[in-house]
């Protein structure tokens, strides 16, 4: 299986020269997914009680988003 591209999410040039890559797009997608999961499900989902499950699910969703954006 081909690994999707995981570019920086917010790269920018520094005024003094050079650049900063910031967080990866995968991390950004996972953070957005986690926020949505926690906001939409609340305490009913179990996300608040099982941090490892929450993180795994968020990164699974992020991986799916990266794969989808990599499709022709």
Q: Decide: residue 27, CB within 10 A, 0-12 exposed, 13-18 middle, 19+ buried.
A: middle
C-alpha distances (whole Å) from 37 to each of 4, 7, 51, 65 are 23, 24, 12, 15
Residue 9 has what pLDDT?
85
> pLDDT digits over 19-72, tens only?
888 899 999 999 999 998 888 765 565 556 678 888 999 999 999 999 998 888
Q: Where are the domains of the chain?
A: 25-70
3-class DSSP assignment, residue 71? coil
pTM: 0.76
Residue 62 has what pLDDT?
95
Q: Given a cut of 60, is residue 1 above it in pLDDT?
A: no
């Amino acid at each position: 299986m081909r690994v999707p591209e995981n570019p920086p999410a917010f790269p920018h040039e520094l005024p003094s020269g050079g650049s900063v890559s910031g967080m990866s797009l995968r991390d950004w997608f996972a953070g957005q997914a986690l926020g949505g999961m926690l906001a939409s499900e609340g305490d009913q989902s179990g996300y608040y009680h099982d941090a490892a499950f929450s993180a795994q699910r968020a990164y699974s969703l992020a991986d799916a988003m990266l794969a989808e954006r990599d499709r022709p």
